Amino acid sequence: LRRGAVAPDLAGRRVVISAGGTREAIDPVRFIGNHSSGRQGYALARTAAARGADVTLVAANVDLPDPAGARVVRVSSAVELSEAMAAERAGADAVVMTAAVADFRPVTSAASKIKKSGAAPAPIELVENPDILAGLVVDREREGLEQTIVGFAAETDDVIANGRAKLARKGCDLLVVNQVGGGRAFGTEDNQATVLASDGAVVDIPTGPKEALADRVWDLVVERLPRGAR
Ligand code: CTP
Ligand code: CA
């Protein structure tokens, strides 16, 4: 291949990628959210499209231009993201969850803007959100699908041990683990990661642009796709 040319090794494949960060409404003007920019998910969408895939990008609160060649579905909350992923996963060869999903949401969202009353504020009661990634694995097993499922995790402390435990708990095929701290991961242009595979493989991806990391992730996905099953 000519330098800069891309192997169309995802041609005929359908991939679904979640990106961004969910927002959990407290009242009509406030939410619980996170700092995920969506850049890594968008880089995965761009690179998959460049490699020939049919790409659906489920974007939660991302302020970036639509990637060329991807169909974009916009959501906001974790429950909306869960519903969108449940609808889009059918028939996908690979599903990649880069979205930062809020672990908890307020039990109720006030219909009117919460006002100061002079008294102490009422506590906000939280309930756990569905684990979308684990649910995708359950759906795949139930339907006996050949589908590669990838998660992302930001970890501190013993990053690999935490990542291994999370990979096992979620049941996905690949977990891309970022070490957080030192200005990495959230909102930065560059990314570094270790990819842990359910087959025991450990692949270090050196610090580089999010596109380069995305391409390495697709390499690992392509290796795991059933051959010729289109
Ligand atoms: N994830 C998900 N649904 C959730 C929470 C997380 O699908 N409710 C996905 C994320 O998109 C990511 C992966 O799971 O791909 C790991 O997210 P992380 O927050 O690290 O996992 P948790 O199970 O929430 O563990 P922790 O308690 O460490 O936050
Ligand atoms: Ca979490």
pLDDT in tens, the chain (230 residues): 555 668 899 999 999 999 999 999 999 999 999 999 999 999 999 999 999 999 999 999 999 999 999 999 999 999 999 999 999 999 999 999 999 999 999 999 999 999 998 999 899 999 999 999 999 999 999 999 999 999 999 999 999 999 999 999 999 999 999 988 755 555 666 788 999 999 999 999 999 999 999 999 999 999 998 776 44
Residue 185: what pLDDT?
53
Listed in sequence order, the residues at least 6 apart from 210 whose beta carbon sits closer than 8 Å to its beta carbon are: 39, 40, 43, 189, 190, 191
Annotated binding residue 210: no
Residue whose CA lies nearest to ligand 1 atom number 20: 153
Q: How many residues does the chain have?
A: 230
| Contact between residue 40 and residue 50 where contact means Cβ atoms under 8 Å apart | no
Alpha-carbon torsion, ordered 175, 57, 228, 52, to 10 deg? -120
SS3 102: coil
Helix or strand (DSSP H, E) at 19: strand 14-20
| Contact between 181 and 161 (Cβ < 8 Å) | no
What pLDDT, on a 0 to 100 scale, did the predictor assign at position 187? 60
- Of the chain, the percentage scoring pLDDT greater than 90 comes to 87
pLDDT (tens digit per residue) in 131-166: 999 999 999 999 999 999 999 999 999 999 999 999
pLDDT at 131: 98
pLDDT of residue 1: 55
Is the CB of 172 inside a 6 Å radius of any atom of ligand 1? no
**Residue-level pLDDT at 200:** 95
Among 230, 227, 176, smallest CA distance to 198 is for 176
* ipTM score of complex: 0.99
Is position 152 annotated in a ligand binding site? yes
Query: Which of 40, 131, 150 should be mutated for ligand 1, with most atoms under 8 A from CB?
Result: 131
From the list 8, 14, 15, 67, the residue with the least C-alpha distance to 38 is 67
Is residue 21 within 6 Å of ligand 1 at its C-beta?
no
Distance 37 CA to ligand 2 centre (A): 16
Check if 103 has its Cβ closer than 6 Å to any atom of ligand 1: yes
What residues are annotated to the active site?
34
- Mapped onto helix, strand or coil, the DSSP state of residue 141 is helix
> What's the pLDDT at 160?
94
Tell me the pTM.
Answer: 0.94
For the Cβ of 178 lying below 6 angstroms from any atom of ligand 1, the answer is no
Ligand number nearest to the C-alpha of 136: 1
User: Helices 132-143 and 78-88, interaxial angle, to 10°?
Assistant: 20
> Rounded to whole angstroms, how far apart are CA atoms 78 and 107?
13
* Cβ-Cβ contacts under 8 Å for 128 (sequence gap 6 or more): 103, 104
166 in a labelled binding site = yes
Tokens of 227: 């051959």
